[in-house]
Structure 1
Amino acid sequence: MRRSSTFALPFATFILVGLAAPALAFAAPQAEPEPLPPGEKKADPMEIAAPPPPPPPPPPQRTMQVPETIRTPEPPPRSSYDEDDDDDDRRWAAGDHFEFTMGFLAGQRSYSKTSFKFEEGTAEGIGGGGLVAPFVMPPFDNATVLGLRYDMRVVMSHIRMTVGFDLPFPTYKASDSTAVYDVNGTPRTVTVQSLSAKELRFGIGGEYAWTKVALFADLLGGVHWVDTELSIDGYKADYGAVTFAFSGRAGARAHVRKWFFAQLAGEVGIIGDVRWNAEMSVGFSLK
């Protein structure tokens, strides 16, 4: 009996120690492992990456309603002036351009202060070379002229540069010019048989253009060649003269097409044989 008690005591102690050991191990604080440095941390192969967020939904689309028939606006009616119009503002008269004009000329000349020189003729032997008196009488004084006028012109920045040529023909009756003059001490009958002139003109001026109309003014200087033939008691005598004249001109140009216009102008003499001129012409413009 005593041997059984001795054996039972160690066995019971063993059982109690075995049951208490897990509880003590659980209660004891466990040391945490040291963390790895940031550069040496490795991803857990068992860790699963989070999926990316879904894309935002597309905006709602609106369906376009197409009309059954599409009406195009009708162009405005075009007049005859718009047949070849490529400028909405119709600034036909404005801008830098080149002009050529041709037209009619009417005016008055006075050659009473012109120095005529005897050139040739059979009247030289009777003193025709010294004849002076007939040249201060009609048709040399206040002679009415009718003729043609041609101009070429360049307009740049409202400045006009002109070169032109005139053919004025004096109108008179030869019988009205017949008179008796003293020729080298002898009374002789003198008649003006012909009188003609040619005029080369140069001009500088300015103009102001508004839509289809341009107003202009020019200072003109011209070289004039005048020729006349006299009959002195049946003897022929030819005379000629070269003069220079200044005049002022002003007028208006109206375009009926971008490239075609009509022009009216008036001219007044300043120095020389020009008294006045009136001009009516048409022209062509090139830009």
Structure 2
Amino acid sequence: MRRFSTFALSFATFALVGLAAPALALAQAEPSPEPLPPGEKKADPMEVAAPPPSLPPQQPLQVPEHPAPPPPPPPYEEPESDGWANGDHFEFTMGFLAGQRSYSKTSFKFEEGAAEGIGGGGLVAPFVMPPFDNATVLGLRYDLRLVMSHIRMTVGFDVPFPTYKVSDSTALYDVSGTQRKVTVQSLSAKELRFGIGGEYAWTKVALFADLLGGVHWVDTELAIDGYKADYGAVSFAFSARAGARAHVRKWFFAQAAGEVGIIGDIRWNAELSVGFFLK
């Protein structure tokens, strides 16, 4: 019985080895499959997908009870064209002058002429009559001005020409005890003015006022019974002027002003001029 069992066990072992040997040789002869590239790797059905990243919790929108005021607008810059009359500057004006003079209180002095021999040097009466009293003048006016911080400083020159009829000036006067015919042949004046004043400018218009003081030179020629006599006088006068300047361009303006005499030979003046403006 024992001998049969040993035989059966040996036979079974031999059979198993004989069957397994071909399968092992076949497995060693076949090459192993190449691995798939990374891009062609198939997903493992057993692999569990990772959960999507969680988003942070949404905060509720906070609406303020009182919204903040809007930012202030940028500062307004006045266009240059709206401020032509403003600022420190130089002016030069030239224009027409009309007015009235009274030389009746002006001291005329005999300068030269053939009438000196007949007493022309002591003649006084004609100088208180027309055209020396209330003479209408027409002429030219020139001004150069500096304006700083609304203060005006002016220097100017006037050339007023008295208008009168020579025939209306002829009259008889006592000259050294003798009645003689006296005629005013010519009358001319020149005026150098200085002024201090102020002005207020707004956009393209400026209002101004000045106190003017001037040195006046007056020359006249008389005919005394045909003898010539030249007389001259120098005087000083104060006047007040006010007016307005309107700009047509940044550098060009028109001006109108009125003037009233305070002391001296000026009664009144009216001025219309144009000027040039330099900042």
> What TM-score comes out, normalization by structure 1 length?
0.70
- State the match for 2:266 in structure 1: 274
2:236 aligned residue: 244
**1:148 is aligned to 2:140:** yes
Unaligned residue ranges in structure 1 (runs of 5+)? 1-85
The DSSP-based 3-state class of the residue aligned with 2:107 is coil
Q: 1:99 aligns with which of 91, 105, 111?
A: 91
**2:250 is aligned with 1:258:** yes
Counterpart position of 2:185: 193
Match of 2:154 among 142, 159, 162: 162
SS of aligned partner of 1:176: helix
SS of the aligned residue for 1:223 comes to strand
- C-alpha separation in 1, matches of 2:150 and 2:174: 56
Q: Deviations over 1:153-210 (max 9, x none)?
A: 0000000000000000000000000000000000000000000000000000000000
Distance in 1 between residues matched to 2:108 and 2:80, nearest whole Å: 57
Residues 81 and 250 of structure 2 are in contact (CA less than 8 Å); yes or no, is this contact kept in structure 1? Answer: no
1:126 is aligned to 2:118: yes
Q: 1:88 to 1:236 in 2, by over 3 A?
A: closer
| Alpha-carbon shift at residue 87 of structure 1 (Å) | 3.6
Q: Which residue of 1 aligns with 2:105?
A: 113
Gaps of 5+ in 2: 1-77
**Within 2, Cα distance between the matches of 1:139 and 1:256?**
40
Offset of 1:89 from its aligned partner?
A: 5.6
Total equivalences in the alignment? 202
| Counterpart in the other structure of 2:75 | none
| CA distance in 2: counterparts of 1:268 and 1:188, whole angstroms | 37
Q: Structure 1 counterpart of 2:276, which letter?
A: F
Q: Does 2:183 align with 1:213?
A: no
Deviation at 1:88?
4.3
Q: For the residues of structure 1 that align with 2:186 and 2:79, how far apart are their CA atoms? A: 52
Q: SS at 1:135's partner residue? A: helix
Give the corresponding residue for 1:224. 216
Seq. identity, %: 89
Normalised TM-score (structure 2): 0.72
Q: Runs in 1 of length 4+ with deviation above 3 angstroms?
A: 86-89
RMSD between aligned residues: 0.9
SS of residue paired to 2:179: strand
User: Which residue is equivalent to 2:64?
Assistant: none
